[in-house]
Every structure is written in structure tokens, then in C-alpha cells.
Structure 1
Amino acid sequence: MAISATFAALNMDIPCTDSELQKIRPVAQAARELGVPCYLVGGFVRDKLLGRPTKDADFVCVGDALALAQKAASLFRSSPKVTLFKTFGTAHFRTPDGFDLEFVGARKESYQRHSRNPVVEPGTLADDQNRRDFTINALAISLNEADFGTLVDPFGGREDLKEGLIRTPGEPAITFSDDPLRMMRAIRFATQLGFRIHPPTLRAIREQRDRIRIITQERITDELNKIIAAPKPSVGFKLLFDTKLLDLIFPQMVDLAGAEFVDGLGHKDNFYHTLQVLDNVAARTNNLWLRWAAILHDIAKPATKRFEEGHGWTFHGHEVVGGRMVPKIFNAFKLPLGDPMKYVRKLVELHLRPISLSKEDITDSAIRRLLFDAGADFDDLMTLCESDITSKNKAKVQRFLDNFELVKERCVEVEEKDRIRNWQPPITGELIMETFGIPPSRAVGDIKDAIRNAILDGVIPNEYDAAYGFMIQKAAELGLSPVK
């Protein structure tokens, strides 16, 4: 990172751009004028030490955080509007370039077992650091005149950053019992940062896992989505699985685990296969919902698993059953039930189609139907299907990938010729009703379906005149004549 100014130049050892310094200096000045001790804390300090980009900064003051935020905002040229959360004693404002500044008064917390909401009272910086979830998030930098730039690190967080370690400041069992969401945060940070979880901390997650039941679904889902959005999400899911947290928050996924053998014939472990597909998708796209489609593409295999004598294990119809499971899972996770859910369901229901085409002679009709059914999501479907090609046999994988390339080439050829993606048949239901003087009815749907299928099957070209003539023909078979 090219920087023209650093914290080191101000007795700090964390690199910081001029732009970031311009946001920090007014806060330090405001704290000095108000006479309140103030510190940079948490994620900003952690990410700067790791060389990661930052979009926000958190400040803790030993005093009135609301007054500090308002004073600091007044020192910016733009005088940004401050949002005050008086109930919680916190404040926030955003600079014109989109950088978020959060302010909170130093506090100490105590918990009751039935709730993750703490009893809060004013405290010192030490109290505030004691309540932090992990040592790497308890780092603080003084903005006070007497010791400006001093790193306050009571728990060895800087060393844990060097070691790539997630560790709680205090006794991990108490940390997780007090706020069980921290168990998922530990796994999320390990996944995002590529860190390992300190063994006693990991052991405490296993021991305290049942405490996750007091956390709201929205908070659990938010952490899960952050794991899914990580560069290699399988890391987080393996940790969730090994600690048995996944049994509590996503039992349908746990049901995928394990391989069963009969007469020497077995099937792959669909849990680890799903994680491989998820990582494959993650390597190709940041699309959260496509990653969810990877997670759910085989979710119905446990429900559809059968052993057929002389053949082996089958999962017939798992794409259809899986599609029906998607809305229920989205509803349980409080995920959006509109377009994202419909998108994931479509990909789950279609995920076998392109691969099946690679195993047979490809007809234009089959390609047209795939293009039509996938529509605008065709490219994402192909990404999912290509990611679904997994095996320990590299030669087998390469053979499937080569066949899949042929399918993609044929799809391009047919699309260029017929323009089926996002296509609507040239004859509408309104035209059918107007032509034959009939109200909305089954006959209208039957004629529309017949026209669509005739075009997709190549019986007639994708043209209005041909479709109109076919409409007259099909209507006649139903005893209908055009009105004069």
C-alpha cells in the first residue's frame, strides 16, 4: 500500500492513509477539547495490523460518547449528521466518502443466563476491553495527548494476529455462555481470516453449543451468510459441523453427511461433496445466492436415497424434492422469500439438466428447453453445474469437464440461432381469447402450451406467422373457430 503518512509518523506503528488520518484527527481533537479519554478500538486496529482494507472505525471514550460524536462531526468541513442512540449510549455518522465512524462510551457488562442482552454500566477502557469477544478485537490505540499512538493490548492480541489465532480474552466457556453468538463469530473470523481457533476456545464452543438456542434467527443467519461469503466457506462449515453447532442451526445439511454401503456398493459423502461444490462456486463468483444454490443443490438426497438391487444407490427426483425444500429453508433462516428464493429454487431444480445433456446426443430441442427454462439465470446455472463436477479421479473430472464444454458450445450455437433465452412465445393469451372470442379458460392455456412446445421442439420456427397458423390448427382440434 502506497502511503504518504503513517501512524508511525505520529508515534503509531499502524499504517494509515492521509484520508484515514483526516477522519481520526478531528475525533482526537474533539476528545481533547472535551477532556475525555478516547481510543480507536476493535476491527479498525485489527485490520490495519493485518493490512486489510477498512470501511469504518470504532471509538471508545471514557465519558459521553454522544457528546464526543457531535463535537467530532462539527470539526469536519461537511458537518455530517450524527445519529444518536441514546438508549444504548452510542452514536454514528458517515463521512461524505462513505467512511463510518462509531462512538461508544466505555462500559462493563454482566449477563444473566437466560438472555444474551447484558446489564450495562459505565466503565474504564480495561472494562471495555474485558467485554470484547476475542483478543484480536480487544486491541486499542490511544488518541490521548499524553500517550498518543500507544497500543493497548492487555491480552496479547497482536501476537495472536501474528500467529493467526482466534482466542477469547477470558475464560472461553464464560465468554460463549454470556453471548452465544460469539461462537459463530469465532468460526466466521477463522473462515474470513484463514486463522485457526485456539484449542480451549474450540472446545468451549462444543461444550456451550446448546446456548445458541437463545440467539435470534436473524443474527444466526447474518453470521452464516458472512461465512458463506468468505473466500473458502467450507472452512466455516467444517468447524460448524465438528463443533455440532450445525446440528442445531442447519440439521438438513448435517443429514447429508456420511456414506452408506450395501454389498460393497456405496455413495459419496454428500456433505463433503456439497462443501467442495460450494468452494468451487466461491472460486468463480461472489454471488451469495448462487453460493446458497450450491449449498442446497443436493439437500434432498437423504430424503430420496434408495438402494436398487443390481444397480446401487439412487437419488431419483432429488432436484424436484430439493426445489420444494428451498422455500421452507429460506423461511426458517429468515432469508428473503422473493426473487432470491425463486432464483435458488430454480437453480436447484435445474442443476441436473446440463450435466445430463453431456451424457447423451444433444438435440436442439433439449438445448432450447434448457435455455428457455433457465432464462436470465442460464450462465449462473452453468457455473453451478460445472462446480458440481467433483471426484477424486482427476481423469473422470476432466472427461466430464470436456463433455460439459461441448454442451456449453452447443448452447451458444442454439442461442445465437434461435434467441430462446428470456424469450416469450409470439402468441399471447390475450390474442388467443380475442381471436376465438373465448374467456380465460383451460383451452387458452392448452393452445399457449402447444405453441411454446412446438417452437421449442423445432416443429415450427420462432416466428409470428408460423405461430399464428399453428394456433389456428390447434384451436380447430379443440373445436374452436376464429370469430368474424
Structure 2
Amino acid sequence: MNYKSHLDKVPIFKKIQECADALNLETYVIGGYVRDIILERPSKDIDIVCVGSGIELAQAVADKVGHVKVSVFKNFGTAMLKDGDWEVEFVGARKESYQRESRNPIVEDGTLEDDQDRRDFTINAMAIRLNADHYGELIDPFDGMGDIKRQTIQTPLDPDITFSDDPLRMLRAIRFATQLNFDIHPDTFYALGKNAERLSIISRERIADELNKIILAKTPSYGFKLLFQAKLLDQFFPEMVALYGVDVKNGKKHKDNFYHTLQVLDNVATVTDDLWVRWAAILHDIAKPPTKRFHPKAGWTFHGHEDKGARMVPGIFKKLKLPLNDKMKMVQKLVRLHLRPIVLVKEEITDSALRRLLFEAGDELESLMILCRADITSKNERKVVQYLKNFDIVEEKLKQVEENDSVRNFQPPVSGEDIMAYYDLKPSREVGAIKDAIKEAILEGQIKNNHDQAFELMKKLGKEMGLERKED
């Protein structure tokens, strides 16, 4: 099979061909770019392998393109350049061997065959020749084309050795299966479970990178089910594994919170590509196992799981090497508040409750409503429809209250500095009490969210506390 017509659409390939022939280097485009040509997926990352010096080839191509900087990584024998939207990486063909305690290989120069042998999966081991004599010719020694047609992920060589050598490939197998909606070959899947404990030599940063790519897939639940079944999830995310299972007592049972969480995640994924809203879906019920209790009359309860879950978020993020910044705080807020709109749906809605939700949710209100809608996973379709209609009512009332009171992300119109200046005070309990009382009065609707009414309340509260105004 020949892909010359495709290569001709991308000018950089012709320049690579000319430089490779001038340097007498056997050269190929290999890996993900070739796979994506066949799958008709967009790709801007091009991997070039040559039998010889990849760095020398990269520098020659940069000279031909002109005004292009080459980034050289001598320790790895690689070089990279950018040509418009294209990012092209060059490397010399190599063969690899591994030591058990490390995923960093011992590298030697090799042939194209050696380089294809070291690839993770058959669909990533295909290469297209770039030299003029066989330009566009596909080299597919492991039937990667057949696996694409069969929609199958499998390793070129023994999967047990492949995964033991570099355990990160186990997560990559599941990531590709999730992104492409492929199956994993039975022998390859068996090797995942057999080598699961080998993930201990992989950094949490690399694990988190693959996990986030799974989470961002169209149907992320598929990846989590594979991680769970292969016992890989146990290695780095036991808190999520703990959600699995149903307990039955006195004829009463609760839902399987693992599969419920995956349903919520998929529901969120149909609405937003925001990684952190998807993380909130994953973690919204994470504290249900430690808060689970059985009461003879009420059955199974999970009281306070939203607050405990919010407290668990920083520890989980830290362990997984996820960012401990505003993204983590956003997830924490969504986990803490995820029951609040549901309570409003069930009860008579008061303006005070709406104001409090607006104030506490702030900029995350839309994300919170996405999560809450996704959290309705009842098998009773009529019940789901009714809940969603009630959410529509809540959202409309939230808009009305915000238009009238402007309490979303508000700061009390009389600040602590105003209070201290008026009464000639230093930071103190009295200042905090007055400020909190003004905030509560606004949220309860006792006063409007404006300076004049807040200032009058400040004077009233100060008088009750026995404070005297500073003399000018």
C-alpha cells in the first residue's frame, strides 16, 4: 500500500525526502502519525526515524525550510523542529534493552526492524518510507493495519515482556483503547493484570498524564472499567476502587457507587470537555465508603459525604501529582456543593437559599449545575425527567435572584477597613462579627446588597456592641 498522495499534501515530507537522500539516510515517518492517516484522524505531530543520525537529518531539514530553530536533545539522540503547525521530531533507529528496576532503556543504534520491535502496539509500529526510491510505501511487519480493521490493541512482541519492560505502556494500552473505542487483545489484557504491580516504578506525574487523557475521551467510563478490571486502578487510585460493590442488610441495599460515578462522568462528558469538571464528577461521591452507615429504618446513609469528600480532594490531588491550585479548589468546591441544588429541587425554594447558593458557588455555578444534572442517574425515566424539569425551575430562579440582588461572588459593600476606620479599631473579633452580620443580612434578604443599607446596619450593630465612632 502506498501513501504518496497523502504525503504530497504536507510539504515538509518532500523536504525531509530530499535531505534524507542527500545524506544517504534510510528514513521513515513512523508511529502515531501513520496510524492517524489510516484512521483519518487529525494529527500535527510527526515522528521521523532514520537509520543514522536523527540530529544531523533535523539540522539539514531546518536549513532547507529556513528560519526554523532545531531543539537538540543529545542525551536522547533526538531533535525537534516546528514548521508552521507541524511539530516534527527526528531520531535515529535504535534497539532497546531494559533493567527490571527502571523503565529507562539501554539504547543502541539499530535498524528499522529494531525500532519497530521496540514500539508499544502494532498500530503504532507502522512506518512509511520517505526516500525517493520507495516514497510512500507502508512497512507493517506486525499487521497493524489488520488490527486497525479489527479495532484491536495488542503489542508487537510478547506483552508480558513489553509491559514489564515499560509499565507505562499498560496505561497507554487503555488510553488508546478508550480514545479509539478499540478492544484490547485477550493476551495483551491478561498481561496487564499480571504486571499491574509494575506500575510502582512509574512516576505519578506520568500516570496522571495518561489518566487525564482517558478522562478527556468521549466515553471515559470505558477506560476506567478497563483500569478496574485489570487491577491497575488499585495501584494508584484505591479510593475510587473502594466505591465498588453493593451491601445488602435486612433486605435493603444501596447502589454501586463505582458504576454510578462512571455514569455521572459520562453524563458530564456529553456536556463539557473541561477536565476539572470531569474530575469533580469522579470525586463527587468519593467519601461515600467512609461515611456509609446502616440504620434499621432509614437503610443505608452517607451523611456528610459531600463535606468529607471535599476534604479528601487535596490529598488525592497531591498523591496523584495533580495541580494544587485554583483547579483543585474548583473541584473541591463542586464536590462540597454537589447536593445543594438537589436539595433545592426537593424543597420549597426560598430566595435566601438561592442567594446562599449563588454566593458560595460563584464562578462555578454553571459547572455545579452541569454536575448536578449529570448526577441524576435513576433507572426511572419519569423520575429523571421530573428532576431535570425542577432543575430548570431552580436555574431560572437563580437568574432572577442574581438580577435583583447581585450576590454572586459579592463582597460585603462595607469592608473590614471601613469598619475599622469608622470606629478606630484594629483587626479584631468585633470587626469580623460586624462584617459577617452584614453578609448574613444580605443573604437572608434583610437588607439590599448596597452600601447605604449595609452602612446603616454597621452603625446599628456597632451601637449594640458599645462601640463609639472615631471623632474627626
Tell me which of 160, 163, 166 is aligned to 1:176.
163
2:139 is aligned to 152
- Contact kept? 2:58, 2:80, Cα under 8 Å: yes
Tell me which of 254, 257, 271 is aligned to 1:267.
254
1:67 is aligned to 56
Aligned-partner Cα distance in 1 for 2:149–2:256: 36
1:4 is aligned to none
Aligned-partner Cα distance in 2 for 1:48–1:16: 10
Q: CA deviation at 1:240?
A: 0.3
3-state SS in 2 of match to 1:439: coil
What 5-or-longer segments of structure 1 have no aligned partner?
1-7
Identity between Structure 1 and Structure 2 (%) = 58
Match runs of 1:118-137 below 5 Å:
118-137=105-124
1:87 is aligned to 75
Tell me which of 89, 110, 119 is aligned to 1:102.
89
Aligned-partner Cα distance in 2 for 1:140–1:352: 52
Residues 217-248 of structure 1 deviation map (CA, whole Å, 9 limit, x = unaligned): 11111100100111110000000000111111
Q: CA deviation at 1:315?
A: 0.6
2:231 is aligned to 244
- Contact kept? 2:7, 2:136, Cα under 8 Å: no
Residues 75-94 of structure 1 deviation map (CA, whole Å, 9 limit, x = unaligned): 114x2100000111000011
Letter paired with 1:82? V
Letter paired with 1:242? Q
Aligned-partner Cα distance in 2 for 1:102–1:14: 22
1:330 is aligned to 317
Is 1:387 the counterpart of 2:392 in the alignment?
no
Letter paired with 2:58? A
Tell me which of 55, 59, 66 is aligned to 2:44.
55
Aligned-partner Cα distance in 2 for 1:268–1:12: 52
What 5-or-longer segments of structure 2 have no aligned partner?
none
- Contact kept? 1:472, 1:481, Cα under 8 Å: no
Letter paired with 1:347? L
Name the count of aligned residue pairs. Answer: 471
Aligned-partner Cα distance in 1 for 2:455–2:89: 64
Aligned-partner Cα distance in 2 for 1:347–1:447: 29
Residues 36-57 of structure 1 deviation map (CA, whole Å, 9 limit, x = unaligned): 1100000000001101000110
Tell me which of 402, 419, 425 is aligned to 1:438.
425
Q: CA deviation at 1:422?
A: 2.1
Aligned-partner Cα distance in 2 for 1:212–1:136: 23
Residue 16 to residue 423, structure 1, CA distance change in 2 (3 Å): farther
Aligned-partner Cα distance in 1 for 2:253–2:414: 50
When normalised by structure 1's length, the TM-score is: 0.96
Aligned-partner Cα distance in 2 for 1:283–1:15: 33
Match runs of 1:270-289 below 5 Å:
270-289=257-276
Q: CA deviation at 1:15?
A: 3.5
1:300 is aligned to 287
- Contact kept? 1:38, 1:142, Cα under 8 Å: yes
Tell me which of 407, 410, 427 is aligned to 2:414.
427
Q: CA deviation at 1:441?
A: 0.8
Q: CA deviation at 1:354?
A: 0.6
Residues 293-341 of structure 1 deviation map (CA, whole Å, 9 limit, x = unaligned): 0000000000100111211111111011001100000000111101111
Match runs of 1:344-383 below 5 Å:
344-383=331-370
Q: CA deviation at 1:98?
A: 2.6
Aligned-partner Cα distance in 1 for 2:400–2:394: 10
- Contact kept? 2:117, 2:157, Cα under 8 Å: yes
Match runs of 1:4-83 below 5 Å:
11-12=2-3, 15=6, 18=9, 21-77=10-66, 79-83=67-71
Aligned-partner Cα distance in 1 for 2:387–2:324: 34
